[in-house]
Chain A
């Protein structure tokens, strides 16, 4: 049955028209927020935020907020190491429960001896013991699939990054770059034994391994393109909102003004090309509850190729003015080489990606191995109906 576009077009047209008519008012509100951002004193923002009368996750201001910074010159020799991952989730219709994870790693050396290394490392998690997280004190378990597999992938990416950095760190400035966030937001809501194993025992352990390389001029950063975050806007909102308002009971001063505006909307109008914003610190629950000292996550916004990116750094990087400046100039350079997006992340993604053909080949390999062992492959009727389409 062909898809009936007519049925959805009318609603889409209305939505597009309303975006257009709201643009002027949106821009005016952003300009007003920029004015507030530039004129509100740093001390006042922090005072209002720490009063804790509103529970929005808002940025801690670490810097003079009206400031922006231009990128410094690049060092003559430097290196960028980036990782990215891709995975094939558990097929619940298959008789063998298996996850495939592929981590792509790139090592780019620039300067007097330019060199590039592109690699990828596949991993498999097979059987109950490997595709579940177990609670040692009870019989509880959480399967590594969906959101949790995403968390495991982040852990494995960071592990590969730490392994590579330990092998290569030799004192020349090295940017260790990952795609996404250093804040494992998505683990919130999981059971405590899962958080302990994946976040505290594994993810933070890798952060600590990388932190131990700080003396070798290693800079850890994560890159979020076109971020949806509103930490800075929320901090401003606290300063201008009526004290009794909440998300359920919005006030006319702050809540209406900031409605639908994200940090990127403010910084795209405020920052010049290639400049970075002041420095902020995330006050996310997951950091306050689990991240240890030295691994608090700071961030700044960067304007590059008419886009705002959010750069997250552990505090051991952001507290060191030299490493902080280097993170800025090296990321700008990476974006210029990648025509708007860090070339190292782009290439690590290319190394990691498991394309449709690979996925099909993996399924065929599994089917063949099962058939060779005479395993009766009783897949579900639903799976069969999708595989063998018929009339």
Chain B
């Protein structure tokens, strides 16, 4: 496991997904990033949505006009702004790590607890978690939730950590072909998106 450093905290939780509020405004993990909770069991998932919104939903931001300086200057001149908004991530659950430190590619039986910390997985941990192609089961099941685009981003991100990225994308495509043999249109769409190649960085 990595040296645990939380970057966000769970504020909504279910057995399929959770929402975490980032500790720093705009400092969210990118789409397709693997994260884990410091819960027991530790739940592993992938970021499928990132958004920033006002803390108080009744106070909508209004445009400040083109006369404003750069974003950095705007936030320097108005330091309270960073306290009035929050950046959140939605995470789709791909499995969990059981008591014997084994990966389970299935939904946890209970959701993660509210206020649990969320940290990033290292490249090595991502490679380790995705070594078994079964990790794709929940991800493929969740395409309707996370969208075809996020599925593609996730696979192409994992591919970039592999020694043979093209092979990993090819293997994932084969799994897709099995799952979507009944829906050729969707399969072609997914394969076309995977065909964009690995995402580096």
Binding site for B on A (CB under 8 A): 106, 108-110, 114-116, 118, 337, 339, 343, 347, 350
Contacts and interface: CB of A to CB of B under 8 A. Distances in A.
A116 B79 contact: yes
A118 B80 contact: yes
B200 to A, nearest CB: 35
B77 A108 contact: no
A108 B59 CA distance: 20
Contacts of B75: 114
B79 A114 contact: yes
B83 interface: yes
A118 B83 contact: yes
Contacts of B84: 347
B183 interface: no
A348 to B, nearest CB: 10
B56 A337 contact: no
B82 interface: yes
Interface in B52-101: 56, 59, 62, 64, 75-80, 82-84
A116 B82 contact: yes
A108 B79 CA distance: 7
5 contacts: A108-B79, A110-B77, A110-B79, A337-B77, A339-B62
A347 B79 CA distance: 12
Contacts of A114: 75-77, 79
A106 B78 CA distance: 12
Interface of B: 56, 59, 62, 64, 75-80, 82-84
Contacts of B56: 350
A110 B78 CA distance: 8
A235 B45 CA distance: 72
A381 B123 CA distance: 68
A116 B81 CA distance: 8
A347 B75 CA distance: 15
A247 B76 CA distance: 53
A337 B78 contact: yes
A343 B79 contact: no
Contacts of A118: 80, 83
A343 B84 CA distance: 13
Q: 8 smallest A-B Cβ distances: which pairs?
A: A116-B80, A116-B79, A114-B79, A114-B76, A115-B79, A116-B83, A118-B83, A347-B80
Contacts of A350: 56, 59
A116 to B, nearest CB: 4
A207 B78 CA distance: 28
Given A116-B83, A118-B83, A343 B59 contact: no
A314 B83 CA distance: 32
B79 A109 contact: yes
A347 B78 CA distance: 12
| Residue of A110, A116, A339, A347 with most partner-chain B CB within 10 A | A116
B67 to A, nearest CB: 11
Given A350-B56, A350-B59, A343 B78 contact: yes
A118 B80 CA distance: 8
B23 to A, nearest CB: 16
Contacts of A106: 80
Contacts of A339: 62, 64
A129 to B, nearest CB: 36
Nearest to A355: B58
Contacts of B62: 339
A267 to B, nearest CB: 26
A343 B80 CA distance: 9
Contacts of A109: 79
A337 B64 CA distance: 10
A339 B76 CA distance: 16
Given A110-B79, A339-B62, A347-B84, 11 more contacts: A108-B79, A109-B79, A110-B77, A115-B79, A116-B79, A116-B82, A337-B78, A339-B64, A343-B78, A343-B80, A347-B80
Contacts of B76: 114
A106 B81 CA distance: 12
Contacts of B78: 337, 343
A149 to B, nearest CB: 26
B25 to A, nearest CB: 12
B56 to A, nearest CB: 7
A118 B83 CA distance: 8
Contacts of B80: 106, 108, 116, 118, 343, 347
Nearest to B62: A339
Contacts of B64: 339
A102 to B, nearest CB: 15
Nearest to A347: B80
Contacts of A110: 77, 79
B84 to A, nearest CB: 8
A338 B79 CA distance: 12
A350 B78 CA distance: 16
B63 to A, nearest CB: 11
A99 B36 CA distance: 46
A350 B82 CA distance: 15
A357 to B, nearest CB: 11
A347 B62 CA distance: 15
A110 B74 CA distance: 12
B64 to A, nearest CB: 8
Nearest to A344: B80
Nearest to A338: B78
